[in-house]
Structure formats: C-alpha cells, structure tokens
Amino acid sequence: MELQRGAAGYPAALADCPDPPRTLWARGDLTLLDLPTVAIVGTRRATAYAERVTRQLACTLARAGACVISGLARGVDAVGHRGALEVGGATVAVLGTGIDVYYPRGHAPLQREIARRGLLLSELEPNDAAHRGSFPRRNRIIAALARVTIVVEAGVKSGALITARHALEMSRTVAAVPGPIDVPQAQGSNELLRDGAAIIASMADALALMGLTAPIRLQELPHGTAERTVWEALDGGGLDLESLAARAALPAHAALAAVSALELRGLVECALTGEIRRM
C-alpha cells in the first residue's frame, strides 16, 4: 500500500518529523498505530541480560495494549518484535530497505509474520536495497511514531541513540534501562540516564510511562499449579528466589520455571535487585 503525505491513512504522528517521508509504503494493519505506541530499540550485539529485559518489556507492554515499534534489526529490535507477537500483541517494523526486501536475510520469517499479524513500513521504494544513511533515516520514523522510546542497551555509536535523539527533538519521552558500567554495549544507554532520560528499573516503570496497567489474568492460573502457588506466595510482598521457593514449598528450579511463566503472562516482574514481585 502506498501512502502519500497528507492523504488518508498517512500516519499523523509523522508530521512532527523535520523531514517527513513524502511517500510511505505499508503492508499490514495500519490501525495498530492508533494504539498507545512504544519504541523498544537497542544494540544489534545485545547481551543475554538485554535480550531478557527486552522480551519482558515487549510482552508486558503488548499485553497491556501497547503497540511495540522497532526496526527489525538483529539483537534488541528482533527480540522486541518477537516478544509482542509471542503474547498476541501488536508490533510495527520500520525498515531501512524496500518493504519486500528481507534484511537481514535471517529475519525473513519474522518479517513475513509481522506483515501478516502486524505492520511493515518503509519510505524506500519496493525492491530498494539498503544504502548509506537509510537506517539512520529510518530511525527518525520510529521516533516520530512512538509516544515513548525505550533504549534497552546501546553502545556509544549505536543507532538506537540516533532514535533517542530524534525522539527528544520531537518532544517525545525517552527512557533507558540501566546496564553494567563495564559493558560497552550499555555505555550509551547509561549516558542517556546520566543526561536525564527516564529510568526503567521495573516493568511497572515502563507501564507508568505509557499510562497503562498490566492485565491480571488469574483465570489462567488454575489452583494446584506451580504458577498459582508462586503467585499466592507473593501475596505478602516481593521475595528473592530462595525465599520464594521456601514459602511456596517448591524446589528452586520449579519456582524459577513458574516465575518465568508468570513473567510472560505479565503477572510478576524480577527487579534489578533480584526481588520477584507481583505487577
């Protein structure tokens, strides 16, 4: 689908771009842009920590009704898209190639799935390959479409910082997830926090920035299951894994598996301190 600037269907949020695309190519469901939109971006060389946090952010926000926007790159971008799709949520991929070009090639199945269940966007002509500058220019579209931009992990030269800069120039909210100070992939995102970006220290922080609340689906937790037992054990407040396993009378490995399942349901979160608590 070809969308001309000023014509019906062209995303109104792009009017805030200093150089909005004259033509936008779309494949998928344009109404997803009417949902609360959040960009989740970061390095292509994501650490295991960044991938875990990205997945939890995408799952939590998508379950709460947000549309997750990213750039379909390796690392944080792809994990964010997959997290949203995993829970049946909405996601939009803004490409730095033509809309029918698979880049990277290994993301072809993911790109096809987003076209089927989400939305693909590009300002490049169909069949156009990436060229010098196409990905940084793609980032301004991501920033314009998103109400909030969350940088999970980014080095000092990461394209995610370009997205954050565009977002700030358009008076959007920028947030970042704190990372270890001795990990190069986290240096740029940590500097965003130093310079005033909102901190994402929990899933609740992300939901609050978006003005959303986590849906509680206790009907998904039948009595007698490990997930229900762990949920009830958290009734008195947050606990570390060892204390939680003891209170729930479960082996540590079973308690950990239940916590992971509850995280994906958006019912609990694991704080940076190691505390596990209800959302």
User: Is pLDDT of 79 > 80?
Assistant: yes
Q: Which residues lie across from 61 on neighbouring strands?
A: none
pLDDT in tens, 22-45: 999 999 999 999 999 999 999 999
pLDDT in tens, 180-215: 999 999 999 999 999 999 999 988 899 999 999 876
Domains and CATH numbers, the chain: 2-210 (3.40.50.450), 218-278 (1.10.10.10)
User: Is pLDDT of 221 > 80?
Assistant: no
Tokens 């939890």, residue located: 56
Average pLDDT over residues 166-184: 96
User: Is pLDDT of 7 > 70?
Assistant: yes
DSSP 8-state secondary structure symbol assigned to residue 258: H
DSSP 8-state secondary structure symbol assigned to residue 70: E
Distance CA 53, CA 16 (A): 30
Distance CA 110, CA 70 (A): 13
Contacts of 93 (CB under 8 A, 6+ apart): 69, 70, 71, 72, 77, 81, 111, 114, 118, 119, 120, 121
User: Is pLDDT of 73 > 90?
Assistant: yes
What average pLDDT does the structure give for the chain? 92
Q: Which helix (H) or strand (E) holds 23?
A: strand 23-28
Average pLDDT over residues 104-128: 95
The amino acid at residue 71 is: G
Checking phi first, is residue 155 left (phi over 0); if not, alpha (psi -120 to 50) or beta?
beta
pLDDT attached to residue 252: 92
Q: Tokens at residue 110, please? A: 């993911």
pLDDT attached to residue 174: 98
pLDDT attached to residue 67: 98
pLDDT band at 269 (very low <50, low <70, confident <90, very high): confident
pLDDT band at 220 (very low <50, low <70, confident <90, very high): low
pLDDT band at 131 (very low <50, low <70, confident <90, very high): confident
User: Is pLDDT of 91 > 90?
Assistant: yes
pLDDT attached to residue 21: 93
Contacts of 223 (CB under 8 A, 6+ apart): none
Checking phi first, is residue 75 left (phi over 0); if not, alpha (psi -120 to 50) or beta?
left
